[in-house]
Structure 1
Amino acid sequence: MGCHGALLSSVALLTFFLLVAGVPLPNQLYHKKLLLVSFDGFRWNYDQDVDTPNLDSMAQDGVKAHYMTPAFVTMTSPCHFTLVTGKYIENHGVVHNMYYNTTTKVKLPFHATLGIERWWDNGSLPIWITAQRQGLKTGSFFYPGGNVSYQGEFVNVSRKESVWHKYNDEIEWRQNIDTVMTWFTEDDLDLVTLYFGEPDSTGHRYGPESQERKDMVSQVDRTVGYLRENIEKNNLTDYLNLIITSDHGMTTVLKNASDLVEFHKFPNFTFKDIEFELLDYGPNGMLLPKEGKLETVYEVLKNAHPKLHVYKKESFPANFHYANNDRIVPLLMYSDPGYVIHGRINVQFNNGEHGFDNADMDMKTIFRAVGPDFKRGLEVEPFESVHVYELLCKLLDIIPEANDGNLDVTLPMLRSGSSHLSYGKLSLGLMMAMTSLRRIF
């Protein structure tokens, strides 16, 4: 019969069945797929001092937000978990990049924390698990939180970066994209989250205004181009919604300021009054004073430095949605943009940093979206990242878990006639056959 004959016969049979059953034939009879990509530390305006033809083309073909406001605290793991749960950080409980235990005094670095199940699985279900429980298949490639189980269930397919992972390897980036394309086309996954550790790593090392950061943004843009080319090459353009975003921005550290925030130089403060400390991690800190020492420590610190803001847990600004969680200790603090917190000694030497107030413009990040369900050439007003989850669920046509987001915020991005799963989930092969048929005619 030949390939074209077999193709026509398959689609003709499907069409005949639907017409005989009295079912109207829509444009799409399938459940569209979704790829969420995060480029860590991509500040909202990084495309303004670098030529980014691929990100620009994506905006012309789809939707661009003027900027997106991340959750506070503006750290990698907490902000990424907000994207896939739709919850503020105090409500999903991943309150820091580091696992810590105030009783045992254990503190684990970022990469080790990625594998600590009890840090992530603490009552909130991320979208991978929700989608799987509603009949979909999901994957996570390096995305924070994607390599542990939730209520005993793992993501269908996942990859975890090693502690020695080289973030800036462009060849490996393309290989990772090739793998994700295979997940969609051969493994028939419905949702994949893909994470890149740049331009965050370069921004930390060289600073957000450096030439090295600008060069890395060019690499990111080339990667976006490669990704979109492969979506087209794999016949996914009509079926795959693509969202590119980030967790937070980046600002320049004032390393040579005359008024550094240094706890070891504060008058009347002593670490002998502290039971547990989490300092020296950018502009954020937590302290658990020894029994009976809370008031003493607070009184010493509350006006210790004009760039440092220290609060009792119950008085922390409510608009941050951060302190109302059992993992937050009695005293917490953050410093002004450009200032990091030094504890017992000065050990922080990054040229760029995040973790600051999410209202600061340098902490804002990007949002781009393109695909069959998105409008073309639309720029939307800024919105909070907590609203992304409801959008993801809408695109996948799944019922979301309880969350802090609002679909009304992102719904104007979508085409009014977007259809989802109306006649059961068809195989990707049949979807491609239907696309080929349309092209033949």
Structure 2
Amino acid sequence: MSPSWGLVLAAFSLAACAPLQDRASRHKLLLVSFDGFRWDYDQDVDTPNLDAMAREGVKARHMTPAFITVTSPCHFTLVTGRYIENHGVVHNMWYNTSTGQKLPYYNTQGVSQWWDNGSLPIWITAQRQGLRTGSLFFPGGNATYQGEQVAVKKIEPLLHKYNNETEWQQNIDTVMDWFLKDGLDFVTLYFGEPDSTGHKYGPESPERRAMVSQVDRTVGYLRRRIQEHGLEATLNLIITADHGMETVIKTNEIHLLKVQNFSFKDIQFELLDYGPNGLLVPKEGKLEQVYQALKNAHPKLHVYKKEEFPKRLRYANNTRLTPLMMYSDPGYVIHGRLKVQFNKGEHGFDNAVMNMKTIFRAVGPAFQKGLEVAPFESVNVYALLCHLLGITPEPHDGSLEVMQPMLAGDSQPGAESGALPPRPGKLQLVVGAALVLGLRLGIY
């Protein structure tokens, strides 16, 4: 190989790692999630700040989360654009069906092999294309992916109190510093409410309504800080959530211990007592016996062999899922050996149920003003994020076309990709010059 040809290849290699746009001309992006914010929570509470976002930007009638409708899997769908069976974060808990070991939600956040399962989240993709990213408490932000971590991150402490409004404002101030002082391009910000309040008191409770007011005040604080820092013209803001919330029904409960002809002695591994979902590994030779005992055990319980699980839910086709799977009708939770689940509100139900739907608001230079769009699936949000950042997405299950109506005219995507059209930077110009020179010298 001639030295000139090697120079051309080196230039190509550098260009492949370059972002599609110069960072100086790129808009910043903030993705905010308020866990468990049901699609209609703004209808029985005065929410002037969320309403202002809708008037000045875009509001979806509702957004359909992926199934199962729980925190970690649904958040990972937002940042990968993959259905849960494809990205593999199938539960809030890490578990090992061979040893029976399980880890709670908080500890699972630090188990990188649970998250790093072949789907690269947008933080890492953006960093590989020349951007700087950050995560504050966002699920998945504490893991390592293919040897890389989010550049700037803040991890919630153990036994973190999610409802501290003062801390919420401090976290917003931290994010503003990340954008302005640390030069970040993209940040994900997570709040654990109104989910915790909905669980404890129920989605129809006055406590939940008070928490929605706190969320709205926080949205107002966030938008004021954006304005005070002069970021209105350069920052796109998206506020969404992972799932909704359903009132738990306390009568005619599902309790597997009381099911006739079923015994936990026939089970090698179970993941139960986590709302309306259950995973079972029967002992060798016991699968059919356990299935027959459970499939008609309760009129509100749906039990399937893995291969027969409803395909529309896009959940079961993953090696991490067990031979027997179950979920219950809205409002009903599944109790295992003992009744240890006493929440008044719960999620994890079929994502077609209206009370599992959630919110989507967006405002900023890329978005239309005063537009309400039709409902869409959360799997499409990733393509929108990549487009707003001007990066080439990883393979995903969503579609930018679904999100296109909400974009302002000069933010419409190109015909062929989910990223903004490339703007020639120094590296691209170098490559162009090298190609011309190569042609003239007859290198190739």
1:340 aligns with 333
1:152-204: CA deviations, max 9, x gaps? 00100011111221100000000000000000001110000000000000000
| In structure 1, distance between residues paired with 2:99 and 2:154 | 30
2:161 aligns with 166
- SS of residue in 2 equivalent to 1:391: helix
| In structure 1, distance between residues paired with 2:349 and 2:186 | 31
Decide which of 265, 272, 285 is 2:265's aligned counterpart. Answer: 272
| In structure 2, distance between residues paired with 1:288 and 1:235 | 55
1:423 to partner: Cα distance:
5.9
- Counterparts of 1:339-378 in structure 2, within 5 Å, are 339-378=332-371
1:424 to partner: Cα distance:
5.0
Decide which of 379, 385, 392 is 2:385's aligned counterpart. Answer: 392
The answer to whether the 8 A contact 1:90-1:323 is kept is yes
- Counterparts of 1:55-74 in structure 2, within 5 Å, are 55-74=50-69
Aligned: 1:47 with 2:42: yes
1:104 to partner: Cα distance:
1.2
AA aligned to 1:52 is T
| In structure 1, distance between residues paired with 2:329 and 2:339 | 17
1:437 aligns with none
- Counterparts of 1:118-157 in structure 2, within 5 Å, are 118-157=113-152
The answer to whether the 8 A contact 1:29-1:423 is kept is no
The answer to whether the 8 A contact 1:30-1:424 is kept is no
Decide which of 361, 373, 376 is 1:380's aligned counterpart. Answer: 373
Aligned: 1:250 with 2:245: yes
Equivalences, count: 396
Aligned: 1:286 with 2:279: yes
- Counterparts of 1:206-217 in structure 2, within 5 Å, are 206-217=201-212
1:439 aligns with none
Decide which of 25, 31, 38 is 1:30's aligned counterpart. Answer: 25
Cα distance change of structure 1 residues 242 and 85 upon mapping to structure 2, 3 Å threshold: same
Name segments (4+ residues, structure 1) moved above 2 Å: 418-425
AA aligned to 2:185 is D
AA aligned to 2:423 is S
- SS of residue in 2 equivalent to 1:372: coil
1:422 aligns with 423
The answer to whether the 8 A contact 1:30-1:423 is kept is no
- Counterparts of 1:68-147 in structure 2, within 5 Å, are 68-147=63-142
AA aligned to 1:145 is G
| In structure 1, distance between residues paired with 2:154 and 2:299 | 44
Aligned: 1:407 with 2:408: no
1:29 to partner: Cα distance:
6.7
Q: Which runs of 5+ in 2 are unaligned?
A: 1-22, 413-419, 427-444
The answer to whether the 8 A contact 1:86-1:387 is kept is yes
- SS of residue in 2 equivalent to 1:105: coil
| In structure 2, distance between residues paired with 1:162 and 1:322 | 30
AA aligned to 1:337 is P
Please identify, of 411-420 and 219-228, the stretch whose mean Cα deviation from structure 2 is larger. 411-420
User: TM-score normalized by structure 2?
Assistant: 0.88
Aligned: 1:237 with 2:238: no
1:208-239: CA deviations, max 9, x gaps? 00000000000000000000000011110000
AA aligned to 1:323 is A
- SS of residue in 1 equivalent to 2:25: coil
1:418 to partner: Cα distance:
2.4
| In structure 1, distance between residues paired with 2:24 and 2:409 | 17
1:344 to partner: Cα distance:
0.5
Decide which of 172, 196, 200 is 2:195's aligned counterpart. Answer: 200
The answer to whether the 8 A contact 1:29-1:422 is kept is no
1:300 aligns with 293
1:351-397: CA deviations, max 9, x gaps? 00000000000000000000000000000000000000000000001
Decide which of 302, 319, 325 is 2:318's aligned counterpart. Answer: 325
1:59-92: CA deviations, max 9, x gaps? 0000000000000000000000000000000000
| In structure 1, distance between residues paired with 2:323 and 2:37 | 32
| In structure 2, distance between residues paired with 1:275 and 1:75 | 25
2:19 aligns with none
AA aligned to 1:230 is R
| In structure 2, distance between residues paired with 1:194 and 1:72 | 22
- Counterparts of 1:177-192 in structure 2, within 5 Å, are 177-192=172-187
1:291-334: CA deviations, max 9, x gaps? 01111111111111100000000000000000000000000000
Please identify, of 41-50 and 28-37, the stretch whose mean Cα deviation from structure 2 is larger. 28-37
The answer to whether the 8 A contact 1:30-1:422 is kept is no
| In structure 2, distance between residues paired with 1:369 and 1:129 | 23
AA aligned to 2:391 is I
| In structure 1, distance between residues paired with 2:425 and 2:25 | 7
1:80-124: CA deviations, max 9, x gaps? 000000000000000000000001110110001011111001111
